[in-house]
Amino acid sequence: MDILVTGGAGFIGGHLAERFARDGHSVVILDNFDPFYDLDIKEHNVETGREAAQSGGGSYELVESDVRDAESVKELVAGVDYVYHQAAQAGVRPSVENPRKYDEVNVDGTLNLLDACRETGIERFVMASSSSVYGKPQYLPYDEQHPTTPVSPYGASKLSAERYACSYGEVYDFPVVALRYFTVYGPRMRPNMAISNFVSRCMNGEPPVIYGDGTQTRDFTFIEDVIEANVTLLEEDAADGQAVNIGSTENIEIKTLAEEIRDQLAPELELEYAERYDADSEHTHAATERAGELLGYEATHTIREGVAEFIEWYEANREWYEPLVRRS
């Protein structure tokens, strides 16, 4: 199959492109190499994708462009069967400082892709949405019927993008699925995330820093589980036109997470606390019954298992990965 992965040099997009290439598909990735975090990590993702294509018999092509470039997007979409839209301006906290950019990339960029899809015709459009669309919980775990009242410009932009996508699919008659990710982590993850920061600091004898009192909770989802949900949509059409949660079905207090990482790596350290950011969600927790029914989805990693696997990967790749985390 011919597949376009936007944001294909990023964390989730990089793993997705790698999997498709290893499975023998023809993969084109679009990425603008925005310096939101150290670009050397993106270079590693690209190299891993190329190696996967060589070993798996697929093909891998990198196009350095931007979803905001409508002409480039139109040309790329015309040559593929599936679009996996992972590109986005990431970051809840930075979105408070520059909300207009989040609208330009996450909303207008998505519209460029959708316009190209309706003109060309594709097998399926799969987009990365976010648990940030839910905002303050009225109940937990969040199911897909929970009110969507995002509390950050980032969350608002992702909600707008997924609503546009589902409405385009309905009006212009092409299959669309929005996957609402819950805090994805794992090998080659963005260096400015809580888990990577906690691990790096502990490995270097520095205490983990918690923003707020640590009682906020998160549903962390291991990257392999996210990739499996996406790959299923190459064949499965039961979820078309819907938004679907992809999470781990459990959550953990940030303080407990920091303590468990600290206890594994540097038990002598004390935790440190800093002021909480207003845009940060208080709690996230995914109900995944819809994903189970429609996609056969089942998370295979508990948070503790996934973190242990990430620590093992970190130690094996510390030489190249840690300097990038430390300077981000």
d(CA 237, CA 123): 10
Average pLDDT across the chain, whole number: 94
> Residue 260 corresponds to which amino acid?
E
pLDDT band at 200 (very low <50, low <70, confident <90, very high): very high
Instruction: Give, in degrees to the nearest 5, the angle at Cα 9 between 66 and 217.
Output: 105
Q: What is the pLDDT of residues 11-39, one digit of tens each?
A: 999 999 999 999 999 999 999 998 888 88
Distance CA 193, CA 49 (A): 23
Catalytic residue status for 277: no
Give the Cα separation of 256 and 258 in Å (integer).
5
Q: How big, in percent rounded to 5, are the helix, strand and coil portions of the chain?
A: 45, 20, 35
Angle at 228 between CA 261 and CA 2, to 5 degrees: 130
193 domain residue, yes or no = no
- pLDDT of residue 278 exceeding 80, the answer is no
Residue 119 within any structural domain of the chain: yes
pLDDT at 326 over 90: no
pLDDT at 327: 73
CA-based radius of gyration for the chain: 19
SS3 8: coil
- The answer to whether residue 258 is domain-embedded is no
Q: What pLDDT, on a 0 to 100 scale, did the predictor assign at position 280? A: 74
Rounded percentage of the chain residues whose pLDDT exceeds 70: 99
94 domain-assigned: yes
Residue 282 has pLDDT above 90, yes or no: no
DSSP run (H or E) holding 67: none
pLDDT tens string 75-87: 999 999 999 999 9
Q: Would the pLDDT of 279 be above 70?
A: no
CATH number at residue 160: 3.40.50.720
The residues pairing with 243 across neighbouring beta strands, listed in sequence order, are 178
Q: Is pLDDT larger for residue 325 or for residue 202? A: 202
Would residue 244 count as lying in a domain?
yes
Instruction: Please report the pLDDT score of residue 328 as a whole number.
Output: 65
Compute the average pLDDT of residues 41-58: 95
Q: Judge whether 44 lies within some domain.
A: yes
In-domain check, residue 227: yes
Q: What is the pLDDT of residue 325?
A: 83
The verdict on residue 202 lying in a domain is no
Both tokens of 305, joined, read 């298992």
Higher pLDDT, residue 290 or 91 = 290
pTM recorded for the entire structure: 0.95
In the chain, where do the E strands start and end?
2-6, 26-31, 59-64, 82-85, 124-130, 176-181, 184-185, 209-211, 217-218, 221-222, 242-246, 252-253, 272-274
Q: How sure is the predictor about 128, in pLDDT bands with cuts at 50, 70 and 90?
A: very high
Residue 250 has a pLDDT of 87
210: helix, strand or coil: strand
Residue of 60, 102, 154, 321 marked catalytic: 154
pLDDT top residue among 18 and 325? 18
Instruction: State how many domains the chain has.
Output: 1
Q: How many CA atoms lie within 13 A of 239 on its CB side?
A: 32
Print the domain residue range for 61: 2-182+223-248+281-301
pLDDT at residue 47 is higher than 80: yes
Nearest to 182 by CA among 124, 103, 252, 255: 252
Q: How confident is the model at residue 238 (pLDDT cuts 50, 70, 90)?
A: confident
